[in-house]
A and B are shown apart, each in its own frame.
Chain A
Amino acid sequence: MSDEKLRVLIVDDEAPARRRLYQLLEDCADALPLSIVGEAGNGREAMDLLHAVAADLVLTDIHMPDMDGLELARHVLKLPHPPVVIFTTAYQQHALDAFEVNAIDYLVKPVRVPRLLTALQKVPKLKPLQEITLAKLPSGARRFLSITERSRVMLVPIEDIAYLKAELKYVTIRTVQREYLLEESLTKLEEEFGSRFVRVHRNCLVARDFIKGFERRVGDEGDAHWEVLLRDIPESLPVSRRQQSIVREIGRLAPEMRVE
């Protein structure tokens, strides 16, 4: 953190809400040295900005399109120097119980200067939120998976993912373009993204949208098994004996698919 000024990034999808926070931060600037390093309209834009400018604090709205505040808080943890995140929200108390329980700071809109100032003054002493704490908050499935590569955080949209394959310590993410390595558990990912992916093997989840069809393969020793054929990717993945029922299930769901 820079010694003299607190660097703040404002994130909200509503322009007036951003402008209001800007005004309030300016009001706080007399009592506490700070600089506003940028404004973003959603979590995704914020992540882009954070690659260009460093911030000590991200003030983010919770409900936003494309990437909401909760998801943003999880992705910023992958940054080399994760900022502190404080949420702003216009939603009611009961939606915020989980924040109270987990001692996560939030500001209720309309935000007031004294409350904002108190929050800002605590920031230098705060540590970034922990992934484990954020996971306890009620939120939907993420829209992106984030991967750190050479100190940059890559966001991979969930809908671009063809399959997820567990290998030793990592999960390999395959998109049409390339592969990424992710440090998460396949079981957790399966829980989070539920129906989008189907488990074809103990170590592999395939996106339903990417399944082109199935093919029966006979091995050298005469043992036959099914392989999943993928759309736009010249690869096939083995279906385990235990998961064989999905061949018929998916074959039936989409009759135009090729089941050979």
Chain B
Amino acid sequence: MRNLGTLARILIGANLLVAIAAALRAPTWDALPDAWLDYVAVAEPYLLLELAVLNALGPWLRRLAFWQGSIVVVAVTIAAGVLADMLLRRLLPLPANSLVRYLLGALLVAGALLFYLYLRAKALSPALIEARLQALQARIRPHFLFNSITAVLSLVRSEPKRAEEALEDLADLFRVLMNDNRDLVPLGDEVNLCRQYLALETLRLGDRLQLEWHLNSMPADALVPPLVLQPLLENAVYHGIEPSSDTGVVSINIFAKDGLVHAILRNPYRVDGGRHHAGNKMAFANVRERLALHFDAEASLKSRVTENAYEVHISMPYRTARNSVPARPPAAPVSADAGGRR
């Protein structure tokens, strides 16, 4: 219910039903606008009132089973109907039996919507979503692994300490990559993983890769799909840094605003005769689909080319372990710049 997309769908759906009802009642086409207006005048305040109540109840409703929720929705529908009727009666000359009729209509609409949501929930059943999430497991580019191992090997004799650290980063990265990544994780964890990944890239690319972190307003407790940032940073390095001998900056800017978590990733835009190709579309589409499976229409992933820079902008609802379905124990809060060894 907290989903704007869903709210819009409900409003449009209910209005469509009202229009159909009006069309059925009106004896002629000419009478249709009047009949429709009659209905809308009553239905709209009712609908908005009900949605407002349900929206307020959202976090609580979320925890109920579907059938329990349905009962609550029906109860709210009746209550809101009675309330709306009482209020409207003061403003409009409503026929005496209007309450019963409107309630019947409203219950019909609510029933239809609940049935639609039920079917939709079935179509997007956890089993199906999990299967799709599993198929969408992020894959790292193999050349990154082999180049990283080569880099580690080059350190073993001269700088064993650094080699150890790099191997540990590599292990952490691959642990997450090989994980069953279906549950949301705290953003702080994902950012730490990105730091480890980028430490390995820095080992390979040296000064060519410069990093800019803007994390002062990052909500480390926000729950995000695992590997939502890392594949996009991998793209940034692969397309923005590797094709050039020059130094390039990858910037990571994460902040919360108006109930949304924004992550803006920037890398130099290189036009390079199509030598570095493919692959980026795949990672991009992959992240986009995982965002959709977790957050539906509430999350978005956009990219654009600004002057000399390629920019990816993710926005996700700001959910924490406290205000969403408790899937896993809440994570310890991570401060904005924690976890950076370097």
Taking beta carbons and an 8 Å cutoff, which residues of A are in contact with B?
13-17, 19-20, 23, 41-42, 63, 65-66, 68, 89-92, 108-111, 140-141, 143
Contacts and interface: CB of A to CB of B under 8 A. Distances in A.
A110 B206 contact: no
21 contacts: A13-B245, A14-B150, A14-B151, A14-B205, A16-B204, A17-B150, A17-B204, A19-B154, A20-B150, A20-B151, A20-B153, A23-B154, A41-B245, A42-B245, A65-B242, A90-B145, A90-B146, A109-B147, A110-B150, A110-B153, A141-B273
Contacts of A15: 206
Nearest to A112: B153
Contacts of A65: 242-245
Contacts of B157: 23
A143 B206 contact: no
B150 A92 contact: no
A63 B204 CA distance: 14
B151 A16 contact: yes
B274 interface: yes
A140 B158 CA distance: 37
B203 interface: yes
A143 B245 contact: no
B273 A143 contact: yes
Q: Which 7 A-B pairs have the closest CB atoms?
A: A16-B151, A90-B146, A20-B154, A16-B154, A90-B143, A19-B154, A140-B275
B155 A16 contact: yes
B149 interface: yes
Interface size class of B (residues with CB under 8 A): 20 to 34
B27 interface: no
Contacts of B206: 14-15
Nearest to A20: B154
A17 B273 contact: no
A41 B145 CA distance: 20
B244 A16 contact: no
Contacts of B329: none
B247 to A, nearest CB: 12
Nearest to A13: B245
B326 interface: no
Contacts of B155: 16
Contacts of A17: 147, 150-151, 154, 204
Contacts of B203: 16
Given A14-B147, A66-B244, A89-B143, 4 more contacts: A42-B245, A63-B143, A66-B245, A90-B147
Interface string B147-172: 10111011101100000000000000
Interface string B82-99: 000000000000000000
Contacts of B153: 20, 110
Contacts of A109: 146-147, 149-150
B126 interface: no
Nearest to A110: B150
Contact of A140 (B143, B150, B245, B273): B273
A169 B244 CA distance: 36
Contacts of A143: 273
B259 interface: no
B200 to A, nearest CB: 11
Contact of A90 (B150, B205, B244, B273): B150
B175 to A, nearest CB: 21
A141 B154 CA distance: 32
B48 to A, nearest CB: 52
Nearest to A193: B273
A113 B202 CA distance: 26
Interface in B242-277: 242-245, 273-275
A68 B275 contact: yes
A233 B37 CA distance: 74
Contact of B142 (A66, A68, A92): A92
A82 B145 CA distance: 33
A224 B336 CA distance: 72
